[in-house]
Amino acid sequence: MPKGKFIVIEGLDGSGKGTQIERLTASLTERGIDVHTTAEPTDGYIGKHLREMLRDSDNKDMSLQAALFLADRLDHITNPTTGINACLDKGVTVICDRYYYSSFAYQGTAADVDWVMNMNLNSPSILKPDLCIFFDVAPETCRERITQTRANPELYEKDVGVMRSIRDNFHTVFERLKDSDNIKIIDANRDMDSIADDTLQIVLEVLNK
C-alpha cells in the first residue's frame, strides 16, 4: 500500500485555515481519497495543557511553550494508534492544522528562534511534511475577524503588532527552509472559492506525484 501524504496548513489566527481545511477535506473525499484531519496543539494531555496555557495561564514563558509544543508534536507523530505515522502507513492522507512552522513563528517572537528550529528539525522522530500551505492574510484583517467572532482572544490574538511580527517570522522561516521543505504561499485576502480552488490544485499535484 502506498504511504499517505502529510500536508500541513499554516496561517495566522483568523486567516481562514479551519474553513479551507474543511473544504479541502470535502473535495479530496469526493475524489475517493482517504483523509484524516488533525491539529496542533493536539487533544492529548500535553496539548490540552498548552491550550490552557495559551488561554488563561500566567506562565507564558516562550521557551517552555516551545518545549511543550515539541513534546506534544512528537506524541502526535509517533502514537502507535492515532499518530500521524500510523495514518500515513495505512495510506491515509493527513491534513494537519499547524505544525513546527507555527512553533518557529510564534514562540520565535520571544524565544531564540534558532534554538526552537534546531530542537524540532534535529529531533530523530520529527516528520517532514510533503507540503506546507500558508494562507497569507493581512494581520489587520485577521484581528478584525477575531474581534467579531471570539469573546476571549488567546495570547497571540490580542495585539495586531504581535500578529505582524508573527507573519514576518513565518516569511523569514519559509525563506530559511525553501531548499528543504515544500512550502506554498497562497494569497488568502481573496474570496473563499478562489482560495479553495488554488489549495486543491496544489494538493492534488502533491498527491499525484
- Terminal C-alpha separation, the chain: 15
For 20-76, the pLDDT digits (tens) are 999 999 999 999 999 999 999 999 999 999 988 877 656 678 888 899 999 999 999
pTM beyond 0.85, yes or no: yes
Task: Determine the pLDDT at residue 95.
Answer: 98
What domains appear along the chain, each with residue ranges and CATH number? 6-207 (3.40.50.300)
**CA–CA separation, 122 and 55 (whole Å):** 29
Across the chain, the runs of DSSP E, i.e. the strands, are 6-11, 35-39, 93-97, 131-136, 183-187
Q: Quick one: pLDDT at residue 158?
A: 57
pLDDT value at position 8? 98
Predicted pLDDT at 99:
98
For the chain, which ranges sit under pLDDT 50? none
pLDDT of residue 13: 86
**46: which DSSP letter?**
H
- Taking phi over 0 as left and psi of -120 to 50 as alpha, with beta for the rest, 113 belongs to alpha
